[in-house]
Amino acid sequence: MSSSFHRKLIRPILALCLSGLLASPVQAARKVRAVFIQPMNMDHAKALLVAGDKAVEIELPQRNFSPEVELPDGDLQVSILSAPPPAGTPIPADAPRFTLPESWSRCLLLFFPDPANKVFPAKVIPVNASTADFPKGHTLIYNVTAATIHARFGSETVKVAPGKNVSLKPPMAGFGDYQVAIDCAFPGDKEPTAVCRSTWQHDPDARQILFVTPSPGYKVPRVWGILDREKPKDAAKPKSP
């Protein structure tokens, strides 16, 4: 996927001493997870999220969301670095940044390659995964191809334009199997081309994010997805003896 395509797709501090920030505890906060979509190389398996005087390291897997980390409450401007700069050195002006509104209690970060950025080679789309805005059982579809996607998930139908995303309601109320049909139509196509005909399983306790991405060497794009299951609130608490 070209860097020019990503620029079209994802357009939209003072000086800090960051030494020792990773050891600083983050106060009660919102949960954050991340995934790196089709990275150009494996040199960046982690990123440093810097918000004000707080910094936290987050993993960047390619096929699943990372373990949860926490960022402070409030409206935040978050910068992304590979590592803390030398003490007394400001965050580079070209560092990728995103806004995290106070109302977001949970956030999913979608990292996309941006080889032109020498500070950190990625652009980031933050997704509001607060329950009220992205409920469990719902699906979010990102189409990062030049094709228009036409799909049916159970009884739900959807059309996703190139470079756009669409939210989809659950195909059913509880656990169970449902039929999926996904087609694509590139500019100039007289008829859509089948991409997927399959049976999928619905999990009402998980959010699903689907990506439609180019498949090198093939005209028909790939469709793949990631499930976001929230960690039980008491899972991290030690059991009483």
**pLDDT, tens digit (0-9, with 9 covering 90-100), for 105-124:** 999 999 988 999 999 999 99
Task: State whether 123 and 30 are in the same domain.
Answer: yes
Task: State whether 8 and 98 are in the same domain.
Answer: yes
DSSP 23: G
Tokens, residue 67 = 């373990």
Residue with tokens 């004000």: 52
Cα angle vertex 44, ends 41, 46, to 5°?
150
Alpha carbon 60 to its chain's center: 10
Task: State whether 19 and 110 are in the same domain.
Answer: yes
- Domain extent, residue 198, equals 139-229
Residue 139 pairs in a beta bridge with: 168, 208
Q: What is the pLDDT of residues 164-186, one digit of tens each?
A: 999 999 998 899 999 999 999 99
Given a cut of 60, is residue 148 above it in pLDDT? yes
* Lowest pLDDT segment from 27-31, 54-58, 98-102, 198-202: 27-31
Q: Give a yes or no: residue 237 inside a domain.
A: no
Residue with tokens 């469990």: 136
Task: State whether 18 and 106 are in the same domain.
Answer: yes
Q: Given pLDDT bands bounded at 50, 70 and 90, which one contains residue 42?
A: low
Task: State whether 10 and 90 are in the same domain.
Answer: yes
Q: What is the count of structural domains for the chain? A: 2
Q: What is the mean pLDDT of the chain?
A: 84
- The CATH number of residue 10's host domain is 2.60.40
Q: Given pLDDT bands bounded at 50, 70 and 90, which one contains residue 19?
A: very low
Q: What is the pLDDT of residue 88?
A: 81
Q: Give a yes or no: residue 174 inside a domain.
A: yes
What Cα–Cα distance (Å) separates residue 229 from each residue in 65, 119, 131, 178, 209?
9, 31, 12, 20, 11
